[in-house]
Amino acid sequence: LTLPLLSVTLLVSFGSSMLYGYNLAVVNSPAVDIKAFYNATWSRRYGHGLSPSLLTLLYSLTVSIFALGGLVGSLHVGVLVERYGRKGALSRSALLILLATGLMGFSRELGSPEMLIIGRAITGLHSGSAPCAPPGICLSVVPLYLGEIAPKNLRGFLGLMPSIFICLGVFFAQLLALPELLGKDRFWPLFLSVVAIPASLQLLLLHCFPESPRYLLIERNDVYGATKALHWFLGTPDVQDVIKEMKEEQRSLSSVEMVSVWQLLRDCSVRWQTLSVVVLNAGVQLSGIDAIWFYTNTIFENAGIPMSQIPYTTLGTGTVEVVAGLIGCLTIEKLGRRPLVITGFCTIGVCSAGITVSLLLQDLLMPGVPAKPVASTLPLSPCPTAGVPFLMTAELFTQSHRPAAYIVGGFLNWLCNFTVGFLFPFLEMSAGAFCYLVFCGICLLVALYVYLIIPETKNKTFMEIRHIFA
């Protein structure tokens, strides 16, 4: 692992992936303040406040429109990476976050809930507009870029680095939400806007790093540029074996054009790879992780945790998440992809069932002591699972199919993210404790699919993986 390779990994993970995690969790803490802002603005405009159901609907839209923006952005992934390259797509999409933070930061001063909602949509567009997850910048382009610059023995380690920064983004959102920092009513616009700092840093520094060597050679036929980039990334003059492997892939693709999404879905030769991308990307979002990220404070409040203690309890879940992410990142090259995914989904499923049981038996098991928070932190523990599907999306396809595969995975990821974010409050109100059994069933089915269908991809070239599926 060379210093240049580590540097570019940290930069793109910090400037893109961390923003995704931060924006997932940032609306959780100031929910009460944002609802009060909506209600006050509505009263000034129309002379009466919002009804509870309409206020819940409006806030659910604020939470979930992030995913809707990501869904729209993910449809442009292929165009961006083909036209501007991996690095160019990252740079251009970073400008979106600066626009979004401006809208959200001044929404209260200008008395405009619309600016806040549009800003949230643009942050989703930023997360979804550049090819972890689904993807977006952090869920598509970042693992795509890192997967193409990394040696095959480090592809898993570097590919999971974005998931670590997603966890760190969630953690920092929870940390800054403490009352001692930005957790006060008057600070919530600033709280939503601090992501401008890492986005600006990435925009300033990304031009110092080379483009993906694989992109340069295979898609631009720039052998000199690819060789120079490999020298820089790997820190060695001997890169002929890597160049040879990329040229073999280029020759195998010389008569094959970059496929569209429709062509990918109709291609029988990659049918199982495509189905695997569908199952993995949809499974991550429907596992229940997003519901807990979006509504942690509400879950803890309903469980009876005192309001003064909720920010610190929430921060505890973020700490567990970061530790679990580090463990996954450090063990993936030893354990492989399949064991990590299977174990992760099984654990999330068991924990989701545990939440239901603890809620139903809460008073009987521990009278007077809220049991739900104990169980609701557990689904976050196997969160490295969330990064592996995006890594595997890059590994399951060759260059001609990879961008289209990311569009498919990204579309499903954001669609499921939006569905969970928008419907979870209503699902919880209607099904109560049993709503978590839905997540449990999905997790166990995904784990079974991975066990039966998906092979191990550790330390294999893209062509070797294709041959295994064939």
pLDDT (0 to 100) of residue 140: 59
Q: Which two tokens stand for residue 15?
A: 């400037």
- Answer yes or no: is pLDDT of 366 > 60: no
Counting residues of the chain whose pLDDT is more than 70, the rounded percentage is 87
- Answer yes or no: is pLDDT of 364 > 70: no
Enumerate long-range contacts of 420-424, CB under 8 Å, 24 or more apart: 420/285, 420/286, 420/288, 420/290, 420/291, 420/294, 421/60, 421/63, 421/64, 421/66, 421/67, 421/290, 421/291, 421/294, 422/60, 422/61, 422/63, 422/64, 424/291, 424/294, 424/295
Mean pLDDT calculated for residue range 358-386: 54
Question: Domains in the chain and their CATH numbers?
Answer: 1-209 (1.20.1250.20), 259-469 (1.20.1250.20)
Average per-residue pLDDT for the chain? 80
Contacts of residue 448, Cβ cutoff 8 Å, sequence gap at least 6:
none
Distance CA 183, CA 261 (A): 43
Residue reference for tokens 């695997």: 276
366 or 393, which is more confident: 393
In a 13 Å sphere around the CA of 412, the CA atoms on its Cβ side amount to 21
pLDDT in tens, 326-350: 777 777 777 878 888 888 888 888 8
Distance CA 326, CA 160 (A): 9
409 or 205, which is more confident: 205
Mean pLDDT calculated for residue range 424-446: 85
pLDDT in tens, 136-172: 444 557 767 887 888 877 776 777 787 788 888 888 9
pTM reported for the whole predicted model: 0.75
Mean pLDDT calculated for residue range 440-444: 91
Residue 292 in contact with residue 352, Cβ under 8 Å?
no
Q: Which range has the worst mean pLDDT, 15-24, 118-127, 357-366?
A: 357-366
